[in-house]
Structure 1
């Protein structure tokens, strides 16, 4: 499966967040959205990836960007994890059921492992894919690179 390409319309989705509330890409029209995919909660690299989003929350706000931390973990698991790693601002939507449906729509579902790839996708204010980067599963994405891409979009 090949990741979605820059220039495509981002597939809309309806998923549950950690508070069992519906969350849709369409909810964020007029803002940029960072879809930050991690394979599984409770793992060291995934924890560091999500903490980097949380630690840069104010920067994302200044860049008119909503970061979302996606994985296939069920909402109760993600809620316990969010509490454990002190996630207070960044939403952690669940792509649990139908299992991996959103990851599949974005070309990020790893069928063999039943999880998403590790990836960052930036969607602009009009729902167009502006940046895609897929990482080896054990590599922590460089948050400064993501922020630089978002900053360059401001110009």
Structure 2
């Protein structure tokens, strides 16, 4: 199994659809920090709490020049329904579905056993370099205050 991406590495670019069907690339955010907040699967309790917490705190991330992207291997139509069900208004959630988990694999956080990503936060600086990485146990909700403290 691949190792999680290392600090100081250049973050691999990607092109994934968000909940609205719009293509999002990492490179479109040059000049801003980007938080890639990985959750294993939509419609599960911890993943729901993780995305809602990020959405509620979106303005605090914006004040720190940071774009928040939630990612999982769920198909785009599922992400669309889930975003509406959660009333997500401020963050984009991306589908790493085709090919399954390709971006999660590029970042070293794909869980082959479960066919989904692990739970992780990866912070990328304004030039595309990884500056913070944290993997969480599957049932652990990432602390948004800890994440904000890394900005």
Shorter-chain TM-score bucket reads over 0.9
How far has the Cα of 1:20 moved from its partner? 1.4
- Cα offsets for 1:90-119 (capped at 9, x unmatched): 000110001000000000000111000000
- Runs (5+) with no aligned partner, structure 2: none
1:1-155 alignment runs, 5 A limit: 1-150=2-151
How far has the Cα of 1:22 moved from its partner? 1.0
TM-score by length of 1: 0.96
- Residue 96 of structure 1 aligns to a residue whose secondary structure is coil
Q: Distance in 2 between matches of 1:45 and 1:82?
A: 15
Q: Distance in 2 between matches of 1:21 and 1:91?
A: 10
- Runs (5+) with no aligned partner, structure 1: 151-155
Structure (1/2) with the larger strand percentage: 2
TM-score by length of 2: 0.98
- Cα offsets for 1:118-150 (capped at 9, x unmatched): 000000000000000000000000110000011
Q: Stretches of 4+ moved more than 4 A in 1?
A: none
**Matched pairs, number:** 150
Q: Distance in 2 between matches of 1:61 and 1:102?
A: 24
- Residue 93 of structure 1 aligns to a residue whose secondary structure is strand
Q: Distance in 1 between matches of 2:150 and 2:20?
A: 30
